[in-house]
Amino acid sequence: MKSLPTYITILWVWIGVSTLNGAGSAKVYAQLKATSVEILVNGRLAGAGSVVDIQGYVLIANHMAPGEGVRLEAQSKTLGRHTLKVVARDKAHDLMLLQLPVRKEAYPHLTLARNQPKAGQPVFLFGAPVFRHEVMISGMMARDQAAYEFYDGAFREIFHISAIAPIGTSGGPWVNAKGELIGVQSAAMTVNGAHQGIAYASPLASLKGLLKKKQTIQSATMQTGVEELWGQEPGFINKLPKDFGGLVVRQLQGNGVAAKAGLKEWDIIVAIDGQPVKRTDDLMRLIRSRKPGQTVRLKATDREGKNARDLTIKLVAIN
């Protein structure tokens, strides 16, 4: 038999969900519709974005237009169609800051939330999935802390959200139940191209930082991916010494700084600057605490945990 506190919790959750599914979510939808834009890259619909202040600054995902020389436009029923100017990028968080044409009238915009929602709290995404217009998708924060995911050749700091985020939602705003901006849609967890029900969103802190600086933010990388040891096949794990710990080198950039320093695919990083590492997030937090041009010291072994060696890697900026 369930305890009374459990019943109270269930009732509270039911009331909260019912409220959000009614007038609350309808209000959020209207807010997103008025402040979001579709993003055209060389005339083709590539995703979405959101206006984030009265001057017409717009946040989207950097991967939508990673290079220079493309034509970027925003369109919506309320704003029409306008050329966008690139202001700044933050590639470590897959963010790009753009600006609509200057005008006397204030632009309708989203307000940035004060705090990142906690795990279990509802959130909403707005975009143009598979070329469909003005679609809102509901989700739920999947964890309390930011994490690092390796895609497009580098680690990105993101939040995990329980939701399906189809193609065409890239750059779209994630908002909380009040309609306040808490993230920008970046990517999704997939296996063999199949969506696993987890979306990746750029964290609120990174949105605030880019909007405040309005300058491109450079972050450090050693130009390789890593995987946690317990995610490997049993045949790989069984060849290692008992209680061995480390991170397996994967997707090593052949001409990158880590490869030039002597790191090899399937090597195992066991320590960084003298600190043992077993989790990807721990490694990446240390790397991101450094600037491009600074160095880190790695201890690495071969794939069987043998032939340990020390390497010094000079970090570079994510490109």
DSSP E strand boundaries for 95-251: 95-99, 122-127, 135-141, 147-151, 154-162, 173-175, 181-191, 194-202, 220-221, 225-228, 247-250
Domain end call among 216, 240, 269 = 216
Using alpha carbons, select from 143, 194, 144 the residue that is nearest to residue 164: 194
Give the residue-averaged pLDDT of 23-42. 94
Q: What digits encode the pLDDT tens for the residues 77-123?
A: 999 999 999 999 999 999 999 999 999 999 999 999 999 999 999 99
- In this structure, the answer to whether residues 199 and 185 fall within a common structural domain is yes
Asked if residue 257 and residue 161 are part of one domain, the reply reads: no
Mean pLDDT computed over 292-316? 98
pLDDT of residue 68: 85
Q: Which domain holds residue 31?
A: 1-216
Kindly state whether residues 9 and 67 are assigned to the same domain: yes
**φ, ψ dihedrals at 288, nearest 5°:** -75, -10
> Is there a single domain that holds both residue 64 and residue 190?
yes
Q: Is 116 helix (H, G, I), strand (E, B) or coil?
A: coil
- 230 with 163, same domain: the answer is no
Instruction: Examine the domain organization and report whether 184 and 267 are in the same domain.
Output: no
Residues 211, 214: Cα–Cα separation, whole Å: 5
Point out the least confidently predicted range of 22-31, 94-103, 162-171, 244-253. 22-31
pTM equals 0.91
Residue 103: CATH number of its domain: 2.40.10.120
Tell me how far CA of residue 318 lies from CA of 11, 89, 106, 209, 221, in angstroms.
47, 11, 35, 17, 6
Domain boundary among 192, 216, 240: 216
Same domain, 197 and 279: no
Give the pLDDT mean for 33-37. 98
The token duo for 28 is: 């959020």
Query: Six-digit token pair at 266?
Result: 């399937």
180 shares its domain with 249: no
* CATH number, residue 265: 2.30.42.10
Sign of CA dihedral 166, 172, 177, 181: positive
- Note whether 15 and 74 are same-domain residues: yes
How many domains does one find in the chain?
2
Regarding whether 99 and 3 lie in a shared domain, the answer is: yes
Read off the pLDDT of residues 161-219 as tens digits, 9 standing for 90 and up: 999 999 999 999 999 999 999 999 999 999 999 999 999 999 999 999 999 999 999 99
Specify whether 241 is located in the same domain as 197.
Answer: no
Of 216, 234, 269, which closes a domain? 216
Query: Which residue from 170, 175, 196, 197 is spatially nearest to 185, judged by alpha carbons?
Result: 170
Domain identity same for 89 and 157:
yes
